[in-house]
Each structure stands twice: as C-alpha cells, then as structure tokens.
Amino acid sequence: MSRNGLFDLSGKTAAIIGGGSGIGKAVAIGAATLGASVVVLDANENAAAATAAAIPGACSAPVDIGDTASVGAAMETIVRERGRVDILVCTPSINVRKGILDYTNEEFDRVVAVNLKGTFNVLKATGRIMAAQRGGSIVFFSSIRSVVVEPGQSVYAMTKAGIAQLVRAGAAEFGAYNVRVNAVAPGVVETPLTAPIKANADWYAAYANKSALKRWARADEMVGPTLFLVSDAASYVTGTVLFADGGWTAIDGRFTPPGM
C-alpha cells in the first residue's frame, strides 16, 4: 500500500476552485500534502498565485465560475497542460443577508449566478472532461442552510439546497463513467465570507453555541471531509452530502432538561 494508504493522491491532478482563500486554500494545501499535483483557481488571480506559491509544483489561474466560457477555458487548459483532471473541488459562494421582502432582483441574480449557475457551469465542464477520461471525483460545497434556515438566508439557502440536488444529478448521470460527485456541507466556518458575523460578539457566540461542539470550525477542519470524498477511501461514495457541521443539524438545543 502507498505511503498514505487509501488517502494517497499521488499522481493525480487536483483543480481547486476558490483556492485563493479560506476553505479552498486549506484544501489546496492539504491535497498537495497527500501527493496531488495542484492547480489553484480563483476569481482573485493574485490570491490564487499566492496559494500556489506556497505549494511546491503548483500553478494558478483566474476563473469566474459564473461565466460559462471562463470555466470551460480553465478546465481545458488544465487538460492541455496536465493531461487530465482527476479531482475538482469548488468552494466559492456569496451571500446577501436580507429579508425576502427587501431582496432586489439584482441581488437575487448575483447570488444565484455564483452559487447555483456557477456550480452548474463547473459540473458541466468538469463532468464532460471526466466522463471522456472515464474517471474522476468532484466535490462541491453545500451548507447546513440546505436543510435549515434563519431569517435573511432565503436565497443563499435556496442555492445551497440546489447544489445538493445538482450533486445527486451529477452522480446519477456520470456514475457510468466512473465519475463520483459529492458535496461537503459545513456549519459555520471562520472564512472571509463569515467575517461580518465574527465581528459581532453576540452573533458569533450565538452561532458557536448552536453546535454540539460549542464553537466555530476552522477552515482547515474542512480539509479532511473534502479529501476523504476525493480519495480512494470513498471509492463507493457518490451522490452524498457530507455534513461537517459540529452537530448543528443533529440537535435542537433549545432547552436542556433539569438534571442533565
């Protein structure tokens, strides 16, 4: 058995979209640690380059997942330069926290364009390549908001639920080509996206106390679940949403009975 056993990614090309920061950056570094040849993709070209510079042998390129042509060109470039794409991880999303009655059409379109259309663009472009090469693993990022919600999260939650269904559809359509499609669904993670919440002490504490572990996750705590799904350890896992949420969706937590 190889040095990392079932989790060894040696000889595999891993494209990490969103690798310029947060969870994507942590996953890119983690994939390289397990032996993968890493390509860091991000809308922020400088951030992608900075991550790649910290990973021996890695390269970077800009990509706008909301732009179908941009995604297709990025994936084709990887195939041309690396020969194939074995692993694709896509982390980016945006959120506009507003009540339904206050949401503008422009805000709706912006969130859907990145979170839902962007995911579809990546699934289509990568699925086409992996189906042709008869193998590969794709991991997207859903959220606890795919199953539970709070005020101000309507459109974000809708898109995260949509990602879960796209993952199942991708698994159904690409399974015959030995292509697996899964998702990780984090709880609350310390990333640039959640920085405004962290800056509010009461809000930060409320989220921490909602999970069974009574704390937020670090970005690097999403690396293990993600790399499990792309590795041979998950060779029979597809169409699954893996919740890495500190127990958020497992518990109600509103009241602890006396004596407990």
| 3-state SS, residue 45 | helix
Q: Of the residues 156, 177, 204, 207, which is catalytic?
A: 156
pLDDT the model gives residue 168: 98
Mark whether 156 is an active-site residue: yes
Residue 74 falls within a domain, yes or no? yes
CATH classification at residue 25: 3.40.50.720
Taking residues 33-41, what's their average pLDDT? 97
- Residue 97 is assigned to a structural domain of this protein: yes
User: Would 87 be classed as within a structural domain?
Assistant: yes
Encoded amino acid at 256, one letter: T
User: What is the pTM (predicted TM-score) of this model?
Assistant: 0.94
H or E, element range at 139: strand 136-141
- Identify the burial level of 11 via C-beta atoms within 10 angstroms of its C-beta, where 0-12 means exposed, 13-18 middle and 19 or more buried: exposed
Q: What is the DSSP string of 1-64?
A: --TTGGG--TT-EEEEETTTSHHHHHHHHHHHHTT-EEEEEESSHHHHHHHHHTSTT-EEEE--
Cα(141)–Cα(30) distance, integer angstroms? 16
Q: Which of 107-111, 172-176, 214-218 has the lowest mean pLDDT?
A: 214-218
E strands, 54-135, are 59-62, 87-90
Domains contained in the chain, number: 1
Q: What is the pLDDT of residue 4?
A: 55
Q: What is the pLDDT of residues 180-239, one digit of tens each?
A: 999 999 999 988 777 788 888 888 998 899 899 999 999 999 999 999 999 999 999 999
